[in-house]
Amino acid sequence: MEDRSVLSREAPEPAIEWEHDVYFNGPVVVLIHGGFWRPSYDRVHLRPMASALPWPAVSIEYRRIPGDPSSAVVDVRTAVERIRGPKVVVGHSAGGHLALWVAATLGLPAVALAPVADLRLGEELDLDGGAVRDFLGGPAADRPDLDPVRMAPAPAAVLIHGERDTIVPIGLSLAYTKAHPAARLVVVPDAGHFELIDPASNAWPVVIGELGRLLA
């Protein structure tokens, strides 16, 4: 069984919740939460991760309306564009899919943690009981424009995947790196799906190390 305790762990409240002028003196980590694009999961479960990062972080929100993927990608792109200066987009699970999408669209570096990087494969595997089709409102084959494997690659992409992830199998990251050989896949031994966003896990130093390389 995957350990989900990080999803409900207590964490500090964010300093600012948007609609303000915010200035950063240095690179910013833009976080995109997962939850299979479903309405029941929001950015709150990323607070343990966001509060543990040694860099300024903005954890963005997006609409999660089944069958209306455009609302999600428009929100993500708009939010990322509003953050000026150097930045790295980081997403987990379905947020990893959105991170790869927006990084390719805007020409940004990305760190994708256990991403749903191949929508067709995710649909074939019936991830989370039909999550891909529910998100898209139809078959993945109809939306290659939203499928990271079938889009142009992000200019610099690092995919980090737990070796024993049973929620988003590592095969989805392998499909991305096969399609885009310039992307790098880092496999974390003995890690599942949620360890990658858990500052208390053995996977955390790997995530911090890869982020540090992109932000250097």
Specify the range with the lowest mean pLDDT, choosing from 21-35, 133-147, 202-216.
21-35
Q: What is the pLDDT of residues 155-211, one digit of tens each?
A: 999 999 999 999 999 999 999 999 999 999 999 999 999 999 999 999 999 999 999
Polymer length of the chain: 216
- Mapping DSSP to helix (H, G, I), strand (E, B) and coil, where does residue 192 land? coil
Q: Quick check: 182 and 110 in contact, CB under 8 A?
A: no
- Rounded CA-CA distance 167/181 in Å is 24
Question: Model-level pTM greater than 0.85?
Answer: yes
Give the residue among 152, 148, 150 at the shortest CA–CA distance from 168. Answer: 148
Q: What is the pLDDT of residues 54-98, one digit of tens each?
A: 999 999 999 999 999 999 999 999 999 988 889 999 999 999 999
Q: Is 114 left (phi over 0), alpha (psi -120 to 50) or beta?
A: left
The C-alpha angle with vertex 85 and arms to 157 and 185, in degrees rounded to 5, equals 10
Q: Under CATH, what is the fold of the domain 27-215?
A: Rossmann fold (3.40.50)
Query: pLDDT band at residue 3, thresholds of 50, 70 and 90?
Result: confident
Domain chopping of the chain, boundaries:
27-215
CB count in 10 Å sphere of residue 216: 6
Q: Quick check: 105 and 182 in contact, CB under 8 A?
A: no
Rg of the chain on CA atoms, in Å: 16
What percentage of the chain reaches a pLDDT higher than 70?
Answer: 92
